[in-house]
Structure 1
Amino acid sequence: MIPQFTIFHIIILIIISPISPPQAYAQLEDVIIAQNGCNSTCGEISIPFPFGMNEPHCYAHKWFEIECKSNTPYLKSLNLEVTDFNDYYSGLVQIMNPIYRSNCRHNKTSSNDNKTVTINLRDSPFVYSQGENTFLAVGCNNLAFLQSNGTKIGGCVSICDDENNNNFDVGSDGCNGRYCCKTSLPSHLSEFNATLEVLREDSSNGCSYALIASDYWISLDNSYMDYLEVETLNELKNMEYAPALLEWEILNDMLINSTFQLPSDPICYDSNVTSLSNRTTGRQCRCSLGYTGNPYVSGGCTEIPGFFDKNNRSKKWAIVGVSSSLGSIGLLIGLWFLHKDMKKRMIKKRKEKFFKRNGGLLLKQRMSSGEVNVDRTALFTLKDLKKATENFNKNRVLGKGGQGTVYKGMLVDGKIVAVKKFKVEGKVEEFINEFVVLSQINNRNVVKLLGCCLETEIPLLVYEFIPNGNLFEYLHDQNEDIPMTWDMRLRIATEIAGALFYLHSIASQPIYHRDVKSTNILLDEKYRAKLADFGTSRIISIEATHLTTVVQGTFGYLDPEYFHTSQFTEKSDVYSFGVVLAELLTGKKPIFSVGSGEFQNLASYFIQCIEDNMLFDIIDKRVIKEGEKEHITAVANLAYRCLELNGRKRPTMKEVTLELEGIRVLNKKLNVQQNHEEIELAGIEEYQHWDGFSASNSLPFVDSQTYSTDSEVMHIIALK
């Protein structure tokens, strides 16, 4: 952190000195960089104090001790190779950082495949420089994550549109998501490792890399990564380490608990290089105006030749006189404009950083390539969404979930939207996944994604607004003004079954939802069902039969087979849908109270009641009153099959959808017939109790012969 006055000093120096700074430094001889009597070189690298070798008085603290191995300097306490100490006053040291790789078994560095080493700088005076480094990932169809302390704090996606998995020809595209992606580092990063995950199961990946590296090393012309060196990327297969820059400071503890003291002649100031809370943690030093050298050594600051001669003094006084004549008002106005401009630049830079960190370059690329439908997906500005949600007012909250909070908003054109703000800073996995999945779905019973905002530290997704809440609330907190009728329950079940059938079998690539539950089924203005929340969903290859993952899901809906095997199949979604069917039939929650503080699992209770011939003891009274027993029994039997413990015995979502569509067709015909009879036979009792009914006597399957015609049903399915 540089004091503001030193910037002014540097400007004055450039104006008045007849010798440019580099030339002036070239004229300096015998600059003192190390303590008296200490060796200051290892190989060809000069080692400035507070770094040093051999004797304890040659370095300020053990953290700064250098070990010279085969003419190569290493930070001894961290065992990191040092390649450059930069300028004495920069507070930077360049080290060789490990490259993480995956699927590289045939390369020279195969022993380092899936490297698990963690770089830990905690309690040291070093952190990774946020401004000088970049997190970089190279490879095909990968999700690369930067992790710290076991938490994902950043990441990016790299894709390939060909089979070239070994030579990464990024060309003039830069590192913007094709073959290669990048993201900025968080501040005060002191511990990290990296992981590489497959973006799609059917993709051809080849060797992939992830690393933190210096911007200068990976830039072609010091243009801060606008273009990458193709040779550098292709050489990664032969490298184990890449240059990265660490910032450092003299920690306060070092000044208290050691004999080392900072010299009195240079300018030293408080710093917070290693602080997460912006409190002062150490000191940094610079030589006074007109001097250069190593400010951490007594006598290390040497006068710049020609700076203090008579001509320069007259120039300096002339500048001071002119500046004084401008007056304090002019100075204040200038400072005000400078402050406004700096603030605007900082906000713009911050937005650009977040945009890159949240995968914005990749999303823009996909939009321009046509992979994402531009007509359906847009990039919103933070300003627009803040205005739409009244700066994310808590009164605008629609709901909170495991991934984040959803707000209601109104855009400038009057359109009502739902804005999802992801919960955990830096965890963009769910955001990227949900965007990728929803951008490939076009189904009227799936919530529509309108766009996203990437200018914030936490990415935002924008959806169509669904006004009537979710099925769980509507089913378990029923409103008598708009009751949950049998017809409505049957229609909602059919619509969600059709949506899952679409995801499993009709989408360009199969999609497993992985979190089917009544809270993720929303109801629009006409109470049509919309499947939502695709943060944990996965796109898989057509040939794949399952997805092996860490077990995720909601208790009560979770497939027991998946829980025991960690293998998620399309039948796992079927099981969860079976629980939703049981909810619709019984009106009970997936985990419900049975009194005395005990709770019962609906799925197991539902199965037990059917097997004990007690089906209609648990069916919701309204369903019994309004539905035909054959139709209710058929739906119950379908739910029973969906809840089979053996996934292979469960029906597919196509079979489930066909059966529900068939039952709906019959129910509609029956309703028409009953309405006609009511007109003709007014006053005849329309309902009889079903005392003594046994589920074992009649649990019929509804097959295609019960439909009006096969073609009619298939036409209904095709419309989904």
Structure 2
Amino acid sequence: MGLVSKILQLISFIGVLILFAMVVAAAVAAAQAKPGCSTHKCGDVEIPFPFGLSKDCYLNEDNQSFNITCDGSDPKTGNLIVKNISIEAHEMHVLKNVAQDCYLKSGALTPESTGNSYLDVAPFTISKTRNQFTVVGCDTFAFFRWYQNGENYSTGCASECSSLRNAFNGSCSGVGCCKAQFPDGLQNIKMQVYSFNNHTGIWNFNPCGYAFVVEKGTFNFSTNYLKNLPPKMLPMVLDWAIGNETCEQAKKKPNFACRNKNSICHDPETRSGYQCKCEPGYLGNPYHPDGCEDIDECNDPIRTQNCSTAKGCVNTPGGYTCRCPKWYHGNGTKDHGGCEADFVIINRIAIGAGVGFISLLVLSSWVYFILKKRKILKLREKFLQQNGGMILEQQLSRQEGSTETVKIFTVDELQKATKNYDESRIIGRGGFGTVYKGFLADDKIVAIKKSKIEDENQIEQFINEVVVLSQINHRHVVKLLGCCLETQVPLLVYEFVPNGTLFKHIHQESNASTFPWETRLRIAAETAEAIWYLHSVASIPIIHRDVKSTNILLDDDFTAKVSDFGTSRLVPRDQTQLATVVQGTLGYLDPEYLQTNQLTEKSDVYSFGVVLVELLTGKEALSFARTMEQRSLAMYFISSIKEERLFEILENHIAA
């Protein structure tokens, strides 16, 4: 029902607007012609007073005639066809002939050539802002001449082109078409169009040149017009005013045109004479004795929006007022105090209702938040089970002392630390998650990894990373500080390593040049020490399974720390190898592991060897930008040694 009600309200609103527009249109039409003159149309064109079609039906002010002749269906002023007369804008839209200069293939002028075109629009003036002088042709120059204040002036432009290669439809920038501006207040002009070479040599695509004054936005240049300009008459806009005097001068005369009691006189800025306009709040023809009629603003729903109620609108001459409903007082508007209740009892009822509503709102909000909190707690418990919380607890409980170093963080703690996982806090993305920089309540900086868990197999990888890292306490291995399982996506909290990855420092040119051999050698030794610790010292040996330069982080002193144990495996001491599904990164994968699926410590050693080659060469482990023989860095390095070309692939500052 609510939607139907809104649709009915919208239809009613549109109906009121249409009715208001019809009333206004009827008032304007009724005030078109001078009293006693019944005819005010020629064809489809309205002829409003001070213009007229017959004697005594138009204004004749100081030899300034507003007579319009009606020849069939076309009204004319002089030799111009009138298409529209605007009282409000004081403009007349007319059609004007085009001046043309056409030639035969031999170079002789054709009979239809006009060359010169004279235009006398007095008592009107050519609108500078609404028109432009335009020339079309590829062997054409044209002038726009006028006489003003006792002196001769001219302006114009030229267009030459030997082909249509650089002439484009819609572009009048000098190739096939050019434009020129002219001043305000012109009444008599002469257009002259000429040819440089009688259009010889280009006659096949441009036999004529054209010049004309045209209303801006109505002429769109086409390259087809160079061969033939079909519209021989184009629109132009004229400005008009009454007489040559100012308002102050004209008011003293008995034939002052602004006689309507609701009209005001206005001095135009760009021409002499004066113009009449309806006062604010009135609409119609200010030159007609009964032309300016009061607008009933209360029929306009946009205006009545200012009133406290639509029924409170009261129309007044030239405006409207707002009044308050019964039992209220004030100015009736929505602003400036509005309407206030007259009786204390109404205020008391309103206060009581308000207090009751607020109490109900507070109570319902309290119930809502309690239910929402319970729902959140249940959801967090569900996520804890879903993310393997029980399994993780069992795994950690088997490791002596592991639960003392791993902290369980709450959702709220990590949301606050990362500004609710804001994009600006992202410091890395990997195959198994996104890493955010976080600030704990004690101002400690941490790295928070949000894992991408899309199936239960990945839950096992997440639990695996927690279990593996809980076994490790080594200065060259990223330390796990804790985890959070209360969210749909589990979270791991690590120590923050500020200097980025080894990959970044090797392969980014801005870093590689300031990354000396001594530092590279130390990082290699520290990484080797960490891998040796994982394989030989940890209580249960650990195979990292994804050793690569992006998983080696550097702190402020460029100390190496191995990270990302999502795919690592614990290896019982009575086993030397594990049968697993192959996982790792192409370019670093041990070929033997790739073929046999048998994971051993040698797989990490092979991957570490690729990292060493990266440190020596500065090249990526796998690059499809290199040739097939050079695509794998490991194979490329081995072949270079065999062919005694090792120094060719070492980084320049290392080889030196």
TM-score by length of structure 2 reads 0.44
Q: Which has the higher contact order (CA 8 A, sep 6+)?
A: 1
Structure with the greater alpha carbon radius of gyration? 2
